[in-house]
């Protein structure tokens, strides 16, 4: 539980941070909820930490041009309690409320979590369902990728050395949309054994739009395409929820740990998928 | 001068807030890691990554070259330090020599192999990675039943059968009981290995004053005086030159009722380098190297008549000992055997213990130490019998309880239960949950296809450990009370509280006896240079034994107070009450403060009376105490997922008289949390190679506040006749009562599916599999 020796730098601006990262020997520190434990276990040994936590213009939640822009260092607590998100993108607030414990939510950040790409973290399910974008800052300027493209594999993203997640962009939801984040918590770690995020829009009693993101189940979060298709254009009733829920784990090579085998995980995904769909349907107007 | 005033309000029995808490919740308490000494080195221990291996060589060259590294020691350096002691003795017990650092072979993952000493903690840790140990891995065995199988790898080559001891206990005539039985139920029941996981891990600071040849060791322990005696012997330091200080101790739960290699090792390093040294255990070390608890596989048979009368019980107990005996390792299962009859009057038992070596960290005392395991199996077996007989489990228990007229009651295991009314807490708990109504609700729930369970446990305990002939180290306890010249009071107790609240409860006792405000009393403990010899805190003993020693010391002082009072009042006829001595004839008074001052000033002295106002008592308990109680858990199982919801939890405990209901409730809450953890999700998992898979909090679930049900606590009060306070002990009760109540409840919930037993932990996947099987049965 003792880290290797490392340097620590705390830039005041994003430009300064990008400059410090340019030699490739540094790692970005935001809330430290994932990186610091890895360093204490000596699974990570960066030579230098560049702490972006005090960069003022990375911490914002604002609505612009029909989308909500979330700065990288926005904490889970801020997302959970933001009036803007609660009214215009409640799925993300609900997801943030399920993360870790109050200490983790007070320190941990959105950007840090997505950049770490833990396959059992909560956000990926919702960010897939929301079709979020990730804005990445680098020495040669910003680039934007979809969240689906951002995550490559377990603990791997498209971030190049020297790049920083600048912001996440999510859509403004229509107030009639239904949503739900349903999570089965691993009792030791608090991470998701399975987490399912739902966005549903109804039109005239039928389902016009369905987005389902699933985390915790596989080596990376994914869209439950078969379940989405089963819902689309169907009637918005409990039977639909059950039928679509059954498809959530289709073809998935599930993870396992001491608390849940692959078979049980897939089962939980189906059961909780159906429950999440039912809740989202009941919330949709 | 102190502003001593008198008081008339009694404090015993009141919900007094813990006087310990301000320093704990404001972060001003001093734990071992808070000790800073000038020139102090820091140690990091190199530990085996293999469960079994030969050490072919150790190369510390690169580590020694790292700037800041002071020294590296290996087993070759420390081999003359005495072995880590086993305090338990059993006939024929095989005791492996437990060197403080491995010599040429390692026996479990985490076995200490070398130690690096450096000028700071970070350098020490870096240097540990530079030490190259050449291991030749050997086959290992991590499961006690596999270790008993023919051809299993030998943990210790000299004992290829892996059996450390066998132990038999018989009472009555079990053969006859089983011959006369109309029904016999059998089950294999596992009490899984658990990690005690105290909030503060272990830690040791050692400081050698070469001029005085004096060694001081700060260590996070429950038993500072026993550590002093045993570490003095290990290091060859005369005991009077060794001082042990247990500063603030952040929980122990039995895991610090021990003497560990690191305590002697830090003493060795401090003496060798003539500089202070600190070692703070990492959480990973806490999981792999501090003792585990439980680790039973039990085979049970219960014989009964069709009317429900229990006739006798047989148990084969396979105890996973791990690779070595720590202080009490082999003794723990013998406590299970003693507790086998539970609260029931049957007189025929036959128990056989097989203590098995495995390539794992040793097991030893963990909250309840043998008694939760025993209670779990007896309470499970009673429920299995009730199901077999189609009897109500409450009725079956009431039928078999020891009768109130039978106390003191001699058990088939040789104990004498002190006092009891075993039906009372069960009846109270049944009333609280409105049992008959609840069973009706259950019928309706079942008719609707819901899995609704009602489970109970009625437990007994062996507490207030204990009469010295029946304990490994002496079971008495000590107290000194000093009334200072200004009238304030210092209590020094031999018990070493570490969360149990005796700084409050002992002050309550002293305040009432002396009639002074609680703020005039301080309770000191945990430093062998300050406090007279004592045994320590474990086995729910501190108040029942240590509190009694205090009570008697206070009686001695009260006699002396009256002698001085009579002298000052020039009267033969005085009473002492509420901190004031009064002449019964004249009504004249002197305060305790005046009396204390006079006793030290000693201008005149009562006849045959020494100056000063100090009394010390060592109290030997004539018997254990036997608390009891009934817990009821109401659960509902999610048929689709196997999730268990505890809808209601009622704990009715009888711990005799209660000094402080707030602290007693806290003990029950904490105890239930640990029993619930075992029932629902805690388990130390070793793989076949002896690697601890549940090696971090990421993989080992302990209960957190949001996982706990609301606990409804109630009491019945049956004073113990064993001590004048009438107290029995409550530190372990919650843990003992909880696991069988919860398991019985979930088994009851699943009983419509044909389920009759579930081993712990009842993780949802296990329950889901049972539901699937049941649904297809």
Mean pLDDT for all residues in chain A: 95
What is the distance between the alpha carbons of residues A21 and A19, in angstroms, rounded to a whole number?
5
pTM of the complete model beyond 0.90: yes
**Nearest Cβ partner for A1 among B284, B699, B701:** B284
Instruction: Annotate B589-657 with DSSP letters as a single string.
Output: EEEHHHHHHHHHH-SS--TT--SS-EEEEEE--SS-B--EEEEEEEEEE-TTT--EEEEEEEEEEE-BS
* Helix (H/G/I), strand (E/B), else coil: B121: helix
Cβ–Cβ below 8 Å for A267 and B44: no
ipTM for the complex shown: 0.95
pLDDT at B2: 41
Provide the token pair at A82: 């933001």
Q: Using only C-alpha atoms, what is the Rg of chain B? A: 28
Cβ–Cβ below 8 Å for A2 and B698: no
Q: Residue B346, CB half-sphere, CA atoms under 13 Å: how many?
A: 32
* Helix (H/G/I), strand (E/B), else coil: B399: helix
- For residues B623-642, give the mean pLDDT: 98
Band the pLDDT of B1: cuts 50, 70, 90: very low
The DSSP code for B708 is: P
Cβ–Cβ below 8 Å for A1 and B685: no
- For residues A121-144, give the mean pLDDT: 97
- Count the neighbouring beta carbons within 10 Å of the beta carbon of residue B777: 8
What is the distance between the alpha carbons of residues A74 and B659, in angstroms, rounded to a whole number?
50
Residues 6+ apart with CB under 8 A from A43: none
The DSSP code for B727 is: B
Band the pLDDT of B3: cuts 50, 70, 90: very low
Q: Which residues of B408-417 are buried (b: 16+ CB within 10 A; e: fewer)?
A: ebebbbebeb
Cβ–Cβ below 8 Å for A259 and B701: yes
Instruction: Annotate A42-111 with DSSP letters as a single string.
Output: TS---SEEEE-TT-GGG--EEEETTEEEEETT-BHHHHHH-HHHHHH-HHHHHHHHTSS-HHHHHH-BHH
Residues 6+ apart with CB under 8 A from B769: B642
Residue located via tokens 């840090």: A112
The angle formed by the CA atoms of residues B201, B207 and B213, to the nearest 5 degrees, is 140
- Count the neighbouring beta carbons within 10 Å of the beta carbon of residue B145: 16
What is the distance between the alpha carbons of residues A242 and A273, in angstroms, rounded to a whole number?
8
Mean pLDDT for all residues in chain B: 96
Cβ–Cβ below 8 Å for B697 and A189: yes
What is the distance between the alpha carbons of residues A10 and A52, in angstroms, rounded to a whole number?
6
- For residues A237-260, give the mean pLDDT: 91
B699 interaction partners in chain A (CB closer than 8 Å):
188-189, 257-258
Q: Residue B676, CB half-sphere, CA atoms under 13 Å: how many?
A: 29
- For residues A207-224, give the mean pLDDT: 96
Furthest CA-CA distance within chain B: 91
Would you call B694 an interface residue with chain A, using a CB distance cutoff of 8 Å?
yes
B122 interaction partners in chain A (CB closer than 8 Å):
2-3, 5
Pick from B695, B684, B693, B689: nearest CA to B53: B689
User: Residues of B numbered 5-44 whose beta carbons fall under 8 angstroms of chain A's beta carbons: which are they?
Assistant: 44
CA distance A124 to chain B (A): 20
pLDDT at A21: 94
What is the distance between the alpha carbons of residues B584 and B572, in angstroms, rounded to a whole number?
9
Cβ–Cβ below 8 Å for A189 and B122: no
Pick from B627, B610, B633: nearest CA to B544: B627
In percent, how much of chain A has pLDDT > 70?
Answer: 100
- For residues B21-36, give the mean pLDDT: 97
Band the pLDDT of B776: cuts 50, 70, 90: low
A42 interaction partners in chain B (CB closer than 8 Å):
129
Residues 6+ apart with CB under 8 A from B298: B188, B189, B190, B191, B315, B316, B317, B318, B373, B377
pLDDT at B6: 53
Cβ–Cβ below 8 Å for B698 and A271: no
pLDDT at B515: 95
Per DSSP, what are the bridge partners of residue A213? Answer: A197, A223
Residue of A nearest to B284 (CA): A1
Pick from B46, B29, B17, B199: nearest CA to B109: B46
User: Residues of A numbered 208-247 whose beta carbons fall under 8 angstroms of chain B's beta carbons: which are they?
Assistant: none
A98 interaction partners in chain B (CB closer than 8 Å):
none
- Count the neighbouring beta carbons within 10 Å of the beta carbon of residue B114: 24
Pick from B669, B260, B619: nearest CA to B501: B669
pLDDT at B546: 98
> How far lies B94's CA from each of B161, B356, B456, B668, in Å?
12, 10, 39, 37
> How far lies B484's CA from each of B343, B559, B599, in Å?
47, 16, 10
What is the distance between the alpha carbons of residues B156 and B99, in angstroms, rounded to a whole number?
14
Provide the token pair at B402: 């020891």
- For residues A120-130, give the mean pLDDT: 98
Phi, psi of B368 (to 5 degrees): 105, -35
**Nearest Cβ partner for B765 among A41, A42, A264:** A264
CA distance B424 to chain A (A): 36
User: Residues of A numbered 122-181 whose beta carbons fall under 8 angstroms of chain B's beta carbons: which are they?
Assistant: none
Chain length of chain B: 777
- For residues B190-219, give the mean pLDDT: 97
Cβ–Cβ below 8 Å for B701 and A4: no
CA distance B709 to chain A (A): 15
Q: Which of A41, A102, A264, A271 should one mutate to test binding to chain B, selecting the residue with the greatest count of B CBs within 10 A?
A: A264
* Helix (H/G/I), strand (E/B), else coil: A122: coil
Q: Are B126 and B25 in contact (CB under 8 A)?
A: no
**Nearest Cβ partner for B694 among A101, A186, A258:** A258
pLDDT digits (tens, 9 = 90+) for B646-673: 999 999 999 999 999 999 999 999 999 9
| Burial label, B346 (beta-carbon count in 10 A; 0-12, 13-18, 19+) | buried
A186 interaction partners in chain B (CB closer than 8 Å):
701
Band the pLDDT of B419: cuts 50, 70, 90: very high
Residue located via tokens 């903690």: B121
HEC-encoded secondary structure of B491-553: EEECCCCCCCCHHHHHHHHHHHHHCCCHHHEEEECCECCCCCCCCCCCCCCHHHHHHHHHHHH
CA distance A67 to chain B (A): 35
pLDDT at B629: 98
- Count the neighbouring beta carbons within 10 Å of the beta carbon of residue B625: 29
CA distance B758 to chain A (A): 16
CA distance A183 to chain B (A): 13
What is the distance between the alpha carbons of residues B672 and B711, in angstroms, rounded to a whole number?
8
pLDDT at B4 over 70: no
What is the distance between the alpha carbons of residues B384 and B188, in angstroms, rounded to a whole number?
12
Q: Are B391 and B304 in contact (CB under 8 A)?
A: no
In this structure, the strands spanning B53-59 and A192-203 are unpaired
**Nearest Cβ partner for B641 among A5, A258, A271:** A271
Cβ–Cβ below 8 Å for B765 and A3: no
A3 interaction partners in chain B (CB closer than 8 Å):
122
pLDDT at B200 over 50: yes
User: How many Cβ contacts (< 8 angstroms) between chains A and B?
Assistant: 55
**Nearest Cβ partner for B121 among A2, A4, A264:** A2
The angle formed by the CA atoms of residues A265, A271 and A275, to the nearest 5 degrees, is 135
pLDDT at B777 over 60: no
**What sign has the CA pseudo-torsion B434, B437, B442, B444?**
negative
Band the pLDDT of A238: cuts 50, 70, 90: confident
What is the distance between the alpha carbons of residues B270 and B272, in angstroms, rounded to a whole number?
6
Cβ–Cβ below 8 Å for B707 and A268: no
Q: At what angle do helices A262-283 and B764-776 cross, to 10 degrees?
A: 90
Residue of B nearest to A191 (CA): B698
pLDDT digits (tens, 9 = 90+) for B752-772: 999 999 999 999 999 999 999
Residue of A nearest to B125 (CA): A2
Q: Are B709 and B641 in contact (CB under 8 A)?
A: no
Cβ–Cβ below 8 Å for B693 and A258: yes
Instruction: Annotate B266-334 with DSSP letters as a single string.
Output: HHHHHHHHTS-EEEE--HHHHHHHSPBB--EEEEEEEEE-TTS-EEEEEEEEEEEEESS--SSGGGHHH
What is the distance between the alpha carbons of residues B612 and B610, in angstroms, rounded to a whole number?
7
Q: Which residues of B183-207 are buried (b: 16+ CB within 10 A; e: fewer)?
A: ebbebebbbbbbbbbbebbbbbbbb
Q: Are B674 and B735 in contact (CB under 8 A)?
A: yes
Pick from B225, B228, B167: nearest CA to B618: B225
Q: Which residues of B647-680 are buried (b: 16+ CB within 10 A; e: fewer)?
A: ebbbbbbbbbbbbbeebbbbbbebbbbbbbbbbb
Q: Is B323 left (phi over 0), alpha (psi -120 to 50) or beta?
A: alpha
B44 interaction partners in chain A (CB closer than 8 Å):
2
């Amino acid at each position: 539980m003792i880290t290797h020796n490392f340097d620590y730098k705390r830039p005041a601006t994003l430009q300064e941070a990008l400059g410090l990262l340019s030699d490739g020997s540094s790692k970005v520190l935001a809330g430290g909820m994932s990186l610091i434990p890895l360093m204490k276990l000596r699974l990570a040994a960066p030579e230098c930490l560049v702490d972006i936590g005090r960069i003022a213009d990375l911490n914002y939640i604002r609505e612009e041009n029909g989308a909500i822009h979330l700065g990288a260092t926005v904490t889970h607590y801020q997302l959970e309690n933001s009036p803007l998100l609660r009214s215009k993108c409640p799925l993300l607030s609900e997801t943030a409320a399920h993360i870790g414990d109050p200490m983790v939510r007070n320190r941990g950040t959105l950007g840090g979590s997505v950049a770490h790409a833990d396959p059992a973290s909560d956000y990926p399910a919702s960010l897939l369902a929301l079709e979020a974008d990730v804005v990445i800052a680098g020495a040669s300027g910003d680039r934007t990728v979809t969240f689906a493209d951002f995550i490559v594999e377990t603990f791997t993203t498209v971030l190049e050395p020297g790049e920083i997640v600048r912001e996440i962009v999510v859509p403004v939801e229509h107030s009639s949309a239904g949503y739900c984040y349903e999570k089965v918590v691993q009792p030791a770690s608090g991470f998701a054994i399975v987490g399912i995020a739902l966005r549903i829009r109804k039109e005239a009693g039928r389902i016009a739009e369905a987005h389902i993101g699933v985390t915790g189940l596989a080596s990376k979060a994914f869209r439950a395409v078969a379940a989405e298709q089963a819902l689309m254009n169907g009637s918005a009733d409990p039977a639909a929820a059950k039928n679509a829920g059954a498809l959530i784990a289709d073809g998935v090579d599930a993870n396992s740990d001491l608390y849940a085998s692959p078979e049980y995980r897939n089962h939980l995904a189906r059961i909780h998928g159906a429950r999440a769909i039912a809740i989202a349907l009941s919330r949709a107007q | 001068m102190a502003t001593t005033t008198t008081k008339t309000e009694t404090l015993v029995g009141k919900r007094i807030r813990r006087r310990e808490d301000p320093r704990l919740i404001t972060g001003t308490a001093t734990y071992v890691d808070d000790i800073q000494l000038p020139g102090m080195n820091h140690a990091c221990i190199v530990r085996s990554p293999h469960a079994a291996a030969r050490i072919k060589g150790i190369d510390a060259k690169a580590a020694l070259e790292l700037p800041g590294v002071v020294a590296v020691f290996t087993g070759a350096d420390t081999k003359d330090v005495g072995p880590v002691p086993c305090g338990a003795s059993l006939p024929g017990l095989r005791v492996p020599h437990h060197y403080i650092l491995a010599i040429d072979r390692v026996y479990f993952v985490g076995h200490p192999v070398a130690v690096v000493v450096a000028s700071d903690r970070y350098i020490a840790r870096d240097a540990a990675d530079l030490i190259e140990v050449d291991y030749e891995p050997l086959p290992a065995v991590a499961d006690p039943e596999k270790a008993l199988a023919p051809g299993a790898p030998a943990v210790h080559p000299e004992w290829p059968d892996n059996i450390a001891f066998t132990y038999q206990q018989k009472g009555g005539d079990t053969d006859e009981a089983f011959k006369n039985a109309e029904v016999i139920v059998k089950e294999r029941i596992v009490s899984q290995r658990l990690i005690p996981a105290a909030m503060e891990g272990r830690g040791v600071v050692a400081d050698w004053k070469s001029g005085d040849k004096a060694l001081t060791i700060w260590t996070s322990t429950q038993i500072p005086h026993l550590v002093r005696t045993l570490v003095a012997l290990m290091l060859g330091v005369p005991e009077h030159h060794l001082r042990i200080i247990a500063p603030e101790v952040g929980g122990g739960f039995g895991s610090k009722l021990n003497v560990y290699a690191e305590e002697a090792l830090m003493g060795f390093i401090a003496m060798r380098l003539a500089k202070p040294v600190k070692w703070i255990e990492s959480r990973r070390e806490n999981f792999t190297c501090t003792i585990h608890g439980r680790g039973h596989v039990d085979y049970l048979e219960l014989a009964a008549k069709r009317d429900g009368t229990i006739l006798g019980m047989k148990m084969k107990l396979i105890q996973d000992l791990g690779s070595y005996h720590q202080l009490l390792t082999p003794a723990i299962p013998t406590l299970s055997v003693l507790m086998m009859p539970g609260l029931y009057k049957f007189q025929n038992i036959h128990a056989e213990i097989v203590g098995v070596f495995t390539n794992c960290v040793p097991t030893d005392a963990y909250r309840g130490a043998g008694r939760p395991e025993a209670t779990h199996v007896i309470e499970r077996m009673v429920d299995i019998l009730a199901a077999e007989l189609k009897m109500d489990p409450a009725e079956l228990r009431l039928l078999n309880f020891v009768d109130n007229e039978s106390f003191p009651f001699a058990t088939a295991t040789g104990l004498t239960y002190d006092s009891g009314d075993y039906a009372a807490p069960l009846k109270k708990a049944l009333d609280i949950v409105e049992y008959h109504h609840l069973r009706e609700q259950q019928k309706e729930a079942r008719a609707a296809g819901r899995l609704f369970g009602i489970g109970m446990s009625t437990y007994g305990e062996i507490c207030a450990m204990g009469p010295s002939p029946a304990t490994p180290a002496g079971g008495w306890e000590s107290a000194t009370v000093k009334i200072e010249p200004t009238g304030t009071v210092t209590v020094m107790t031999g018990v070493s509280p570490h969360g149990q609240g005796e700084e409050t409860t002992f002050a309550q006792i002293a305040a009432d006896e002396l009639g002074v405000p609680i703020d005039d009393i301080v309770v000191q403990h945990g430093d062998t240079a300050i406090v007279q010899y004592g045994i320590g805190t474990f086995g729910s003993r501190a108040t029942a034994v240590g509190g009694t020693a205090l009570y008697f010391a206070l009686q001695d002082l009260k006699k002396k107070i009256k002698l001085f009072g009579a002298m000052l009042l020039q009267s033969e006829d005085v009473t002492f009450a509420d901190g004031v001595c009064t002449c019964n004839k004249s009504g004249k008074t002197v305060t305790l403060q005046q009396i204390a001052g006079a006793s030290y000033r000693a201008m005149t002295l009562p006849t045959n009376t020494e100056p000063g106002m100090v009394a010390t008592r060592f109290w030997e308990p004539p018997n254990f105490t036997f608390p009891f109680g009934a817990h009821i858990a109401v659960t509902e199982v999610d048929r689709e997922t196997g999730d268990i919801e505890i809808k209601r939890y009622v704990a009715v405990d009888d711990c005799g008289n209660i000094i402080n209901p707030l602290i007693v409730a806290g003990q029950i809450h904490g105890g239930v949390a640990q029993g619930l953890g075992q029932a629902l999700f805690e388990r130390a998992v070793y793989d076949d190679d002896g690697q601890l898979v549940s090696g971090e909090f990421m993989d080992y679930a302990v209960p957190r506040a949001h996982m706990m049900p609301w606990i409804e606590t109630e009491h019945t009060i049956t004073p113990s006749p064993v001590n004048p306070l009438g107290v029995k002990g409550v530190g372990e009760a919650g843990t003992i009562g909880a696991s069988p109540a919860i398991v019985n409840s979930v088994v009851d919930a699943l009983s419509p599916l044909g389920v009759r037993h579930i081993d712990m932990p009842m993780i949802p996947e296990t329950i889901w599999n049972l539901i699937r099987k049941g649904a297809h049965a």
